[in-house]
């Protein structure tokens, strides 16, 4: 696919791309929004580096992809913020757990599950971090797995 206003660089052979030449602190022109949609459809996961965004910027980015939903789960380790659409997780060198053990963003328990989630990391470890379901392992895992989400109403 041809991208004219952004740069789109695949990060693995199967999933994910880094989007460049874009400023998420401002409203995006229609052509960039259209290119984000195309990149998301093609690569399924998109990354933006070196963006210093606010909660409002975060929400605006989400709205380019559709309506924004609120977290529907009752029990969570995330913290609420002044904005009902944004939740915070904090981990550092003193944490006894990590986000890969607890973060679950698909909200499949909602009446209408969202298209996706937008994560914003302020600080990353120098060596990356644990990703138990990395793009490299996805083709191997999905060959023999099926997902089932049992839901019962109380």
Whether the pLDDT of residue 126 is over 50: the answer is yes
Tell me the C-alpha to C-alpha distance, in Å, between residue 58 and each of 15, 88, 140, 150: 22, 12, 33, 31
How far apart are the C-alpha atoms of 19 and 46, rounded to whole Å? 7
**Minimum mean pLDDT among 81-95, 103-117, 129-143: which range?**
129-143
How far apart are the C-alpha atoms of 138 and 119, rounded to whole Å? 20
Please, what is the average pLDDT of the chain?
A: 77
pLDDT tens string 50-89: 999 998 999 999 999 998 877 776 666 677 788 888 877 7
Question: Both tokens of residue 111?
Answer: 């009446």
């Amino acid at each position: 696919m041809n991208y004219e206003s952004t740069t789109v660089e695949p990060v693995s052979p199967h999933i994910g791309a880094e989007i460049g030449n874009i400023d998420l602190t401002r409203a995006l022109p229609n052509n960039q929004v259209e290119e984000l949609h195309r990149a998301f459809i093609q690569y399924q996961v998109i990354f933006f580096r070196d963006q210093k965004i606010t909660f409002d910027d975060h929400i605006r980015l989400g709205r380019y992809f559709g309506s924004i939903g609120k977290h529907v789960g009752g029990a969570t380790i995330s913290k609420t913020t002044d904005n009902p659409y944004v939740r915070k997780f904090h981990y550092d060198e003193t944490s006894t757990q990590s986000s890969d053990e607890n973060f679950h963003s698909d909200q499949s328990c909602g009446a209408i599950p969202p298209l996706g989630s937008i994560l914003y990391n302020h600080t990353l470890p120098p060596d990356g971090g644990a990703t138990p379901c990395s793009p490299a392992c996805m083709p191997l895992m999905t060959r023999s797995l099926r997902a089932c989400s049992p839901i019962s109403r109380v």
